[in-house]
């Protein structure tokens, strides 16, 4: 997604846009090298001893004397690790909504049992982070420069001095890659990836992928638009760069694609449209950014939105631009997409 607006467009913008993209409504504006250590596969007992190391997607290897116990992670990463039975001490990123409930990116995390270091883009309480005596910080990356997602540029050096870090890339690759990497990381931290719950979730994901392929073949020609709404701008994401959209495209989904020249302003992630021009592209099905940083479809009051054929036909579904990287959480995304494509009527 990126752009979380150009890194700041880039970082912030993407965010916003919906492509991790829309990453935040502009948020306000393998082998031994990969999982090498006691925690990576031999046994749970080994996982409790050390040493531990993990080579991340920057090519950097985090090392500790023993398997990390005090883990701090971006909220979505913490949610993914939770699904594998690995708990964290602290989180940063969208965790709690204004009404005190768990943010969509928190998944099944008990947000009352973790220390929240920052709930919005640019927020990260370094002093509170230090009190957690962190062993490792884990987050995702939405560019090829190794930028750690939601780690503020102005305090990144102080943060880096306090603990090792691990970055899992979700940039310009299909969803299956980050899913595999997150599971390998969880395994290195002591997760039993052969547990029935994990293998069942992976099988469900694979079956759901097959359902998407079948739906596309059964209902050919359905055009899908990935969008994100803010007060003044409607973002149309390209299927390139975002891990979820790249994977859906590989399964046969036919996406609306903004031209390359207009994507340059966002680093290749999305096109900005005014609400007056929201009908620029024809679409039969619209996937809308479900993050708390974006305006949700039910709250969009623009008349031009309400007149879109897909909207009038009720063919609008949620999209997770920053999927929680566990098979348990990604399988339903595919199932919902498959059902929507299968039922969609050609309205464009």
Q: Answer whether residue 24 shows pLDDT above 80.
A: no
Mean pLDDT over 287-292 rounds to 97
Distance CA 216, CA 342 (A): 7
Peptide bond into 51 cis (omega under 30): yes
What is the per-residue pLDDT for 50? 73
For residue 28, pLDDT over 70 is answered with no
The closest alpha carbon to 293, from 216, 233, 333, belongs to 233
> Residues 298, 140, 287, CA angle at the centre, nearest 5°?
25
Q: pLDDT exceeding 70 applies to what percent of the chain?
A: 86
pLDDT tops 60 at residue 276:
yes
Closest C-alpha among 100, 62, 102 to residue 78:
102
The Cα 229–Cα 151 span in angstroms is: 24
**What does pTM read for this prediction?**
0.89
Cβ count near 130 (within 10 Å): 14
The burial of 120, by beta-carbon neighbours within 10 Å (0-12 exposed, 13-18 middle, 19 or more buried), is given as: middle
> How far is Cα of residue 329 from the mean position of the Cα atoms in its chain?
11
Residue 89 DSSP one-character state: S
Using a pLDDT cut of 90, give the percent of the chain over it: 86
Summarised one tens digit per residue, pLDDT across range 52-83 is 999 999 999 999 999 999 999 999 999 999 99
User: How many angstroms separate the Cα of 46 from the Cα of each of 68, 85, 138?
Assistant: 13, 16, 22
Q: Of 35-39, 132-136, 246-250, which gets the smallest average pLDDT?
A: 35-39
Average pLDDT, the chain: 90
Comparing 41-45, 99-103, 135-139, 243-247, which segment has the lowest mean pLDDT? Answer: 41-45
37 pLDDT more than 70: no
Largest CA distance in the chain: 61
pLDDT tens for 182-226 read 999 999 999 999 999 999 999 999 999 999 999 999 999 999 999
Rounded-to-integer distance, Cα 283 and Cα 109, Å:
35
Average pLDDT over residues 247-272: 97
- Tokens, residue 8: 């700041």
């Amino acid at each position: 997604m990126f752009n979380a607006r150009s890194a700041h467009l880039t970082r912030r913008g993407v965010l916003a846009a919906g492509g991790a993209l829309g990453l935040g409504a502009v948020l306000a504006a393998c082998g031994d090298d990969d999982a090498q250590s006691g925690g990576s596969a031999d046994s749970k007992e080994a996982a409790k001893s050390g040493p531990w190391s993990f080579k991340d997607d920057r090519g950097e290897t985090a090392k500790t004397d023993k398997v990390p116990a005090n883990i701090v992670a971006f909220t979505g990463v913490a949610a993914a690790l939770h699904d594998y039975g690995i708990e964290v001490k602290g989180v940063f990123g969208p965790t709690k909504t204004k009404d005190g409930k768990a943010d969509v990116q928190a998944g099944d995390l008990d947000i009352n049992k973790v220390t929240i270091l920052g709930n919005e883009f640019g927020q990260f309480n370094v002093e509170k982070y230090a009190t957690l005596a962190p062993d490792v910080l884990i987050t995702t990356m939405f560019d090829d420069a190794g930028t750690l997602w939601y780690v503020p540029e102005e305090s990144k050096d102080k943060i880096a001095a306090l603990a090792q870090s691990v970055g899992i890339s979700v940039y310009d690759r299909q969803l299956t890659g980050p899913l595999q990497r997150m599971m390998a990381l969880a395994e290195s931290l002591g997760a039993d990836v052969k547990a029935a719950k994990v293998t069942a979730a992976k099988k469900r994901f694979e079956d759901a992928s097959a359902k998407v392929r079948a739906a596309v073949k059964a209902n050919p020609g359905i055009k899908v638009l990935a969008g994100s709404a803010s007060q003044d701008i409607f973002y149309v994401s390209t299927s390139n760069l975002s891990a979820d959209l790249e994977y859906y495209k590989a399964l046969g989904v036919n996406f609306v694609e903004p031209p390359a020249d207009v994507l340059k302003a966002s680093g290749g992630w999305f096109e900005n449209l005014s609400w007056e021009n929201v009908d620029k592209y024809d679409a039969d099905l619209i996937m809308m950014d479900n993050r708390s940083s974006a305006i949700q479809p039910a709250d969009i009051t623009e008349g031009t939105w309400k007149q879109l054929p897909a909207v009038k036909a009720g063919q609008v579904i949620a999209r997770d631009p920053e999927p929680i990287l566990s098979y348990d959480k990604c399988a339903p995304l595919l199932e919902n997409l498959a059902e929507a494509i299968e039922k969609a009527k050609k309205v464009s």
